[in-house]
Structure 1
Amino acid sequence: MMSTRALGLGSPLRKTLFSQRTALNQSLVRTTLAKRAVQTESLPPSASNKILNQQRLLRPSSPHFTIYQPQLTWIASIANRATGGALSALLYGFSIAYLVAPGTFDSVHVVEFVAGLPDAVKYAGKALLAAPFMFHSLNGVRHLAWDMTKFMSIKGVYQTGYAVLAGSAIGTIALVLM
């Protein structure tokens, strides 16, 4: 080997030796894998659906409530979706009711009905409408700020989350007392 190194042939010889060993090892692996018996069987589509459904039942829900500690971010996300859905259902419900019975749900009748309610019911009703409206509106502004890549750090996300909660409480009280 000393003479091959002196002549500068050590590296090409090693490459040749190793490349032959690699080729031999690759062919050995191929023949071994080719001889390995693999049993396959065709399944009807109903069987594959059954297997997939069984696997889905074993998956945890996301976020996995039993593992993760409740965080402001995912609680606010769930609340934002719930308030948006509730406000939409209220708007569409009242709109459909107005289309079905315009004489009953016009402004005059609604104002007369609300005027006849006790004050406690009026304030409770205002709070039930104002709280989701304020939260959803302020959280929407928060999301717009995120779209402009503002407050994207962990600290900023939590600061804006607490600001939305505080603003929602103050705004709800202001709307109820109007």
Structure 2
Amino acid sequence: MKTAGGDGRVDLGSSSVERDLGVHIDNELKFSKHVETQANKANKILGLVRRPYEYLDQESMRMLFIALVRPHLEFAKCAWSPRLEKDKKLIGGVLRRATKCVPGLKDLEYEERLKVMKIPSMCYRRVRGDMIEVYKFMHGVYNCKNPLELNQQSGTRGHCYKLKKNACKTSLRQHFFTEL
């Protein structure tokens, strides 16, 4: 940092990525660096889990993945959600690798490995988590202003909880939680 004269002002430098509360965000409001960092951490832990065992059965691998690896992939998921396909593939790739670590499952298709191990996909968990949050907002579980709006103009069948879908001008806003 340099001072810009004798008046005590300081020129601030710029950076392309900042970290706030453990979440990396770049100057284009993308979370690709965060996804990359968390996927690398999860892959390292998966390697540490796999290495000491000569044989890992399905149930042991499932419990180790859920307890040690998945929390890194879902860290601060309330603040970010992967909207880019490359980020979704990077996160899902860790689970793909974990399911291939179990002997006898390596030759099965990915979806079959998930069914056998009784683990939902990362994409399913993100959608399920969003639906749970919508339910909590709509039924007053949170003691705050509801960011979601009900569509008052539509005659809904069966329930009165149809959400209003706002028009978005940018692709950034399209993927916000309130615009799902």
Bigger Rg, structure 1 or 2: 1
Tell me if TM exceeds 0.5.
Answer: no
Asked which structure has the greater RCO (Cα within 8 Å, sep 6+), the reply is: 1
Normalising by structure 1, we get a TM-score of 0.30
